[in-house]
Amino acid sequence: MNIHGDTGGIKKGLLAQLEQLYQFNVPTGQAITAELAQAMLSLSMLIEREVAIYLNRRGKVTQVAVGDLRTVDLPSTDSRRSEKRLSGIRCIHTHPGGDSRLSGIDISALKNMRFDLMAAISALPAGDEPEVSFGFISDIDDGQMHVRTAGPLSLSEFTRLAFTELLLQTDRLFSKNELAEPLLQTERVILVGLDQTGKWAIDDSLSELGQLAETAGAEVAAVIRQKKDRPDAALFIGKGKVQEIAVARQEHNANMIVFDDELTPSQQRNLEQALGVKIIDRTALILDIFAQRAKSHEGKLQVELAQLRYHLPRLGGQGLVLSRLGGGIGTRGPGETKLEVDKRRIRSRISDIEQQIEQIKKHREIHRKNRIAANLPAIALVGYTNAGKSTLLNQLTSAGVLAEDKLFATLDPTTRRTTLPSGLDVLLTDTVGFIQKLPHQLISAFRATLEEVVHADLLLHVIDASHPNHRRQMEAVCQVLGELQADQKPAILVFNKSDKLTAAELPGLLREQHSIAVSAAGGAGLDGLLQLIDAFLAKQTAAMELLIPYSDSGILAKLHETAVIKCTEYRDDGTYVKIELPVERQKDYLTYAIGAEA
């Protein structure tokens, strides 16, 4: 059959009449003949769907397509002309509803396909002459095409249109303003979210997804949401919403759909088949950002590991396209064999990366032991992405770490030394930012890096106090800390960006125990933060005087690992030491205590 589009339910006789449209020829220099337009309108009214024809510059009908008002999908042409020229094809279609004005989908198709002309014909009641509206590419500015529309005109006026002159004018425009290939350089995405009861507020979540898309280098063309108690097993969203997305994709010239939640492999495949466009989810988007921003060898390994773990279960959907020679039903043949080979290669690469990361982890453990031996307290900066952790580290230590107003500006941990007001030296470590719905693959892959959090003596939980949903962001950070089994670590809440708050808003924040408001960018409150850290660490340590019998000399070796030894004297009855150690370790040495002070 040579009829494209939605032909379901159309009788054979009407399909045969639609195929007769291929027999029409339009004289050179004329957009369409009245006879062909009337034939299209008659069939369109009978089938109650749009009828579209595609004509080349010789006036020959190359394709015929049908569809309804919302879902007609204009098929691609066979034109082999350069991307820097018009396609040499014009599309003329019907609007059986009676309004000939071009829709957003029509305009989008005109630009995407570089049609010579896009025209819509509609029938008027009471036997009046049909009317036509049309559009053409009128200008190119910085690689972007602009469209001019005209009409409604009567059908007779449209058939007298100086079509050849219009083509020459537009062709000259294209030759003068060369367009880069491909025409669409920036990925234009549509965001899709599911509003589920008890979950994050959908608007906030989609707003954050938009920030992620922009961080990845995409342009957000539209946002679509659906209220639904639970995701659809096959499509994640309802079938009606899939149709709405299909229309929006054409209207907004989008080339990717991004879902706010992680999709199953089958959902992703089904959506790609239904929409005919690349589908990714929040997890894939975050992984892409991490891949762009990973600089160190370790960071790149961790990102690759997370990507491989994400893509491995999604590889199965390629079995059908890999099959070349047939075989059994679904499971046999060289395609499936190639699939299994690919899976083995991925598993082998995952194993190799895990071994490399384990070696890096051991190397990091050596450095950590050296720091412990130096008796320097370790403080880890944690918090939601873009909360200002790197800016704070730079202010406190002059670290010179890249600090951007973007999500996930920091992937690799940076450790720097600073001195507190008491004279105590401490180590501050900047860590990767957390986010709601943080992919499990990332938590697992970055576990070696995040162990800096696990082994820290104190956490500085940096919070963007100016963000309207900073409470939810705090909860998301605590959830990730819980997965790392670091949620019971002592922590100071650092409410950053306080310069963006009013005086009335600050007291409400500082009701939290062990909290302080600062402006890392401006420097306000940083002295108070250092004093708070000083006081906090002082409470975590205790001073003790011990007299250890020479027969228990092994205790001295243990003390060197767990305490700061201030003074040592060798007496007749044993070794006298004055030490500072964590409060929770006091009980280990009470047997030898000759005096203690809190």
DSSP per-residue letters across 20-85: GGGG-B--TT-S--HHHHHHHHHHHHHHTSEEEEEEETTSBEEEEEEE-TTT--PPPP-----TTS
Estimate to the nearest angstrom the gap between the alpha carbon of 313 and the chain centroid. Answer: 19
Q: Tell me if domain 187-292 and domain 375-524 are identical in fold.
A: yes
Q: Are strands 541-548 and 593-597 parallel, antiparallel or unpaired?
A: antiparallel
For residue 191, pLDDT beyond 90 = yes
Which tens digit of pLDDT belongs to each residue from 513-524? 788 888 888 888
Q: Which of 74-83, 155-164, 288-297, 393-402 has the lowest mean pLDDT?
A: 74-83
pLDDT for 224 equals 92
The amino acid at 598: A
Q: How confident is the model at residue 375 (pLDDT cuts 50, 70, 90)?
A: low
d(CA 68, CA 534): 71
Sign of CA dihedral 590, 592, 597, 598: negative
pLDDT value of residue 331 = 39
Q: Are 567 and 545 in contact (CB under 8 A)?
A: no
Region 307-315: mean pLDDT is 82
Quick one: average pLDDT of 447-476? Answer: 83
pLDDT at residue 163 greater than cutoff 70? yes
Residue 182 in tokens: 């491909």
CB of 540 closer than 8 Å to CB of 457: yes
pLDDT at 324 over 60: no
Helix axes 297-311, 282-293, angle to 10 degrees: 160
Containing H/E element for 171? helix 163-176
pLDDT number for residue 223: 92
Q: How sure is the predictor about 69, in pLDDT bands with cuts at 50, 70 and 90?
A: very low
Give the CATH class of 541-592.
Answer: alpha beta
pLDDT digits (tens, 9 = 90+) for 415-454: 888 888 888 788 888 887 788 777 776 777 666 667 778 7
What residue spans define the domains of the chain?
A: 3-177, 187-292, 294-321+338-370, 375-524, 541-592
Nearest in space to 237 (alpha carbons), one of 271, 211, 199: 271
Nearest one of 185, 206, 205 to 253, comparing CA atoms = 185
Q: Which two tokens stand for residue 203?
A: 């608007």
| Residue (of 155, 135, 1, 132) closest to 64 by Cα position | 1
Phi, psi for residue 434 in degrees, rounded to 5 = -95, 170
Instruction: Report if pTM > 0.75.
Output: no
Residue listed under structure tokens 């873009």 = 386
What pLDDT was estimated at residue 484?
79
Percent of the chain scored above 90 by pLDDT?
4
Give the pLDDT of residue 455: 79
Does the pLDDT of residue 131 top 80, yes or no? yes
Strand arrangement, sheet containing 256-259? 219-227, 188-195, 256-259, 278-281
Rounded to whole angstroms, the maximal C-alpha distance in the chain is 122
Domain 375-524 classification at class level: alpha beta
Strand 89-94 and strand 491-496: the pairing is unpaired
Place of tokens 């809440």: 493
Mean pLDDT to the nearest integer, 353-358 = 86
pLDDT (0 to 100) of residue 576: 92
Average pLDDT over residues 452-475: 86
| Alpha carbon distance 459, 429 (integer Å) | 10
Q: Give the Cα separation of 236 and 285 in Å (integer).
A: 17
Q: What angle do CA 385, 391, 395 make, to 5 degrees?
A: 150
Burial readout 125-156 (b: 16 or more C-beta within 10 A, e: otherwise): eeeeebbbbbbbbeebeeeebebeeebbbebe
* CATH 3.30.450.20 is held by the domain 187-292: no
CA 393 to each of CA 71, 248, 390, 530, 535: distance values in angstroms, whole numbers, following the listed order = 53, 44, 5, 12, 19
Q: How far apart are CA 481 and CA 405, in angstroms?
A: 24
pLDDT higher than 80, residue 373: no
Closest of 21, 72, 71, 73 to residue 43, by C-alpha: 21
